[in-house]
A and B are shown apart, each in its own frame.
Chain A
Amino acid sequence: MNSPAPGGVRVEVRGLRRSYEGQAVLQGLDFEVEAGEIFVVMGPSGSGKTVLLKHLIGLERPDAGEIRIGGRSIDTPDFMEQCRLAMVFQSGALLNSLTVAENVGLYLTEHRLKPPGEIAEIVRGKLAQVGLEGQENRYPAELSGGMKKRVAIARALVIEPQLMLYDEPTSELDPQMAVVIGEEICNLNRRIGVTSIVVSHDRDMAFGIADRIAVMHEGQIRTMGTPAEVRGCRDPLIADFLSASFKNIRKESAL
C-alpha cells in the first residue's frame, strides 16, 4: 500500500448469478472492464446494479460465476491484501461516530500503515483534492449530502485504489454538485489511472463521463457499448429508459 497506485486493473465478470429467496437478481452477467476505463452501469431500480457492485467488492458471494480483477479471482484468500479496491456508497457510509479526518484516515490508522503525523498530512491532501479543506474536525451529521459524498471519495482515495466502485454518486445532489462529482470521477481517472465502475440512474452524468455504458434490466445486461452506441440502440426498452421525461405529462393529463 505504501507505493503509489500502479494505475487501474482489468475486471472480468463471467456467468455471474445470484438469487435471494428464490428470486433471481443477477442472471448470468458477462462483461469486461478495461484497465483505466470509466464504465457506467445504468438501469431501472431493482435491476441488480447495486448487487453487482457488492459482488465486485466481495461483500456478497455469487451462486455461480466468477469475478477476476487484475487477472486474479476475488475468491483467492489474500485477494483483498493484494488488490486495492474502494467503494463509494450511495449514502456515503461514513462512520458517524468519527470526525471527517478520522473517517478519511481510517484505512491507514487501522492497518497501521503510517505514523499519525503522516496520516494527518495525507488526510489534509485528500480532502483538498475533493475541495473540503478545513473540514477535518466536523462530524458527518454536520455535512451536506454532497460533502458526505466527497468525504467518501476522499476516504476511498486514501486506499490508492486500482478499482473504484461508485454506487449512485450523484443521487440526492443538486445538478451543480452532480457535475462536480462527475468531474471528480473523471479527474481521478486521469490523474491516477484508476478503473472506475459507476452505478447510476443519472443519464446526463453517465453519457458525460463514461467510456462505455451497460444498461441492465431484470438482472441481465440488455445492451453495452460506447455512449454513442447505447444512444443509438434500437431496443425499445432501452429507448424508453433513456428517453423517459416529464415533458408530456401535463399535456397528456389535460387530454
Chain B
Amino acid sequence: MFHSLGEMLVLFGRALRALPLSWRHRRKIFEQLFEIGNASLLMACVLSLFIGAVLALQTGPILAERGLASYIGRMVGISMCKELAPVMMSILIAGRIGSAMAAEIGSMAVYQEIDALRTMNIDPVHYLVLPRVAAISLALPVLVIFAILTGWVGGAVVSSLNPDIGVSFKAFFNDLRSIVGFQEIVNGLAKSFVFAVIIGVVSCHQGFQTMGGPRGIGRSVTKAVVNSIVLILILDYYLTRFLMYFES
C-alpha cells in the first residue's frame, strides 16, 4: 500500500512539474473538460437537487418541532456547500470519470500503446496524465458550484412545500445568506479541488499499473474507484480540520 502511495506521489510530482506545458496540451485538456462536463453535469444537478431535498425533509420537521424551522436555510446551505456537494460530487466523478480514465489508460498499457509513446520519446505523463489531472481539477469545482446551487434549490422547494416545515422560499434563502458566505463556498471548492487531484492521480496510476488483458483492466477500474473514494473520505476529515483553522 505504501509503495503504491509513493508511486502516486511521484506521479503527482511529475504531473506538477509538467504543469507549465499545459498550454501546449490545451486541446487535450479541453477534450477532457468536455468529456467530464458532458458526462456529469446533468447527473450532478439531479443528484444534488435530491440530496438538498432529502436533507430538508429529514431535518426540517425536527427543527420545526423545536421551533427552529427558520434555521433550515443555514442547515441545508452550510451542509451542501461545505460537505455534501464536494464529497458527493467527488464520489460521483470517481465512479464516472475516474473509472473511465483507469480503463482508457489501462487498455493503452495492455495493448502497448504507452510503450509506443515511449519509443517516440513522448512522455506518457505529459501526454496522458497532465491533461486528465488538469481537466478534472478544473471541472470538479465547477460541478460542485452547480451542485451547491441545485442542492439549495432542492432544500428550499421541500421547505416551502412541506407543511411540517412551512418555510417560504424567501425565508429559506434569507436564513441561508445570513450564515453562508464567500469563505464557506471557497472552503467547499478547495476540498473539491484536492479531491479532483486525488481522483486524477489515483486513476491514472491504476491505469499505468494494468497488466493481463481485459480482466486486468477490470481490476484496475475497480481499484481506481475504490481507492479514490477511500482516500477522499479519509482526507475529508483532515481537510475539514485544516480548513477550520482558517474559519476561526
Give A residues with C-beta under 8 Å from B. Answer: 54, 57-59, 80-81, 85-87, 89, 91, 93-97, 106-107, 110-112, 155, 159
The interface bits of chain B over 165-199 (1 if a CB of A lies within 8 angstroms of the residue's CB, else 0) are 00000000000000000000000000000000000
Q: Are B122 and A107 in contact (CB under 8 A)?
A: yes
Q: Which of chain A's residues have a CB closer than 8 A to the CB of B119?
A: 57-59, 85-87
Say whether, besides A95-B108, A110-B127, A80 and B113 are in contact (CB < 8 Å). Answer: no
Q: Are B121 and A89 in contact (CB under 8 A)?
A: no
Q: How far is the CA of A58 from the CA of B120 in the complex (A)?
A: 11
Q: Which of chain A's residues have a CB closer than 8 A to the CB of B24?
A: 112
Q: Confirm or deny: B4 has a beta carbon within 8 angstroms of a beta carbon on chain A.
A: no
Q: How far is the CA of A94 from the CA of B117 in the complex (A)?
A: 10
Q: Are A159 and B113 in contact (CB under 8 A)?
A: no
Q: Are B127 and A94 in contact (CB under 8 A)?
A: no
Q: Confirm or deny: B116 has a beta carbon within 8 angstroms of a beta carbon on chain A.
A: yes
* A-B interface pairs (CB < 8 A), number: 47
Q: Which of chain B's residues have a CB closer than 8 A to the CB of A87?
A: 116, 119
A93 contacts which of B104, B112, B127 (Cβ < 8 Å)?
A: B112
B111 contacts which of A57, A58, A91, A106 (Cβ < 8 Å)?
A: A91
In the complex formed, the residue of B with least CB distance to A54 is B115
In the complex formed, the residue of B with least CB distance to A60 is B115
Q: Which of chain B's residues have a CB closer than 8 A to the CB of A111?
A: 121-122
The interface bits of chain B over 92-126 (1 if a CB of A lies within 8 angstroms of the residue's CB, else 0) are 00000000000010011001110111111110000
Q: How far is the CA of A227 from the CA of B24 in the complex (A)?
A: 49
Q: How far is the CA of A54 from the CA of B113 in the complex (A)?
A: 14
Q: Are A89 and B115 in contact (CB under 8 A)?
A: yes
Interface size class of B (residues with CB under 8 A): 10 to 19
Q: Which of chain B's residues have a CB closer than 8 A to the CB of A85?
A: 119
B116 contacts which of A80, A81, A95 (Cβ < 8 Å)?
A: A95
B120 contacts which of A81, A96, A106, A112 (Cβ < 8 Å)?
A: A106
Q: Which of chain B's residues have a CB closer than 8 A to the CB of A57?
A: 119
Q: Are A80 and B115 in contact (CB under 8 A)?
A: no
A113 to chain B, nearest CB (A): 11
In the complex formed, the residue of A with least CB distance to B127 is A110
Q: Which of chain A's residues have a CB closer than 8 A to the CB of B116?
A: 87, 89, 93-95
Q: Are A107 and B113 in contact (CB under 8 A)?
A: no
Q: Are B127 and A59 in contact (CB under 8 A)?
A: no
Q: How far is the CA of A111 from the CA of B117 in the complex (A)?
A: 12
B215 to chain A, nearest CB (A): 18
Q: Are B122 and A93 in contact (CB under 8 A)?
A: no
Q: Which of chain B's residues have a CB closer than 8 A to the CB of A155?
A: 120
A28 to chain B, nearest CB (A): 25
A91 contacts which of B112, B118, B120, B127 (Cβ < 8 Å)?
A: B112
Q: Are B121 and A81 in contact (CB under 8 A)?
A: yes
B238 to chain A, nearest CB (A): 37
Q: How far is the CA of A58 from the CA of B113 in the complex (A)?
A: 15
27 contacts between A and B (CB under 8 A): A54-B115, A57-B119, A80-B121, A86-B119, A86-B120, A87-B116, A87-B119, A89-B112, A89-B115, A89-B116, A91-B112, A93-B115, A93-B116, A94-B113, A95-B108, A95-B117, A96-B111, A96-B113, A97-B104, A106-B122, A107-B120, A110-B120, A110-B127, A111-B121, A112-B24, A155-B120, A159-B120
B214 to chain A, nearest CB (A): 14
In the complex formed, the residue of A with least CB distance to B31 is A97
Most buried by A among B108, B111, B115, B121: B121
The interface bits of chain B over 126-142 (1 if a CB of A lies within 8 angstroms of the residue's CB, else 0) are 01000000000000000
Q: Which of chain A's residues have a CB closer than 8 A to the CB of B107?
A: 96
Q: Are A93 and B120 in contact (CB under 8 A)?
A: no
Q: How far is the CA of A89 from the CA of B117 in the complex (A)?
A: 12
Q: How far is the CA of A85 from the CA of B118 in the complex (A)?
A: 11
Q: Are B111 and A93 in contact (CB under 8 A)?
A: yes
State the 3 A-B residue pairs at the shortest beta-carbon distance, nearest first. Answer: A93-B116, A93-B112, A80-B121
Q: Which of chain A's residues have a CB closer than 8 A to the CB of B121?
A: 80-81, 107, 111
B136 to chain A, nearest CB (A): 18
Q: Are A93 and B113 in contact (CB under 8 A)?
A: yes
In the complex formed, the residue of A with least CB distance to B122 is A110
In the complex formed, the residue of A with least CB distance to B24 is A112
Q: How far is the CA of A91 from the CA of B109 in the complex (A)?
A: 13
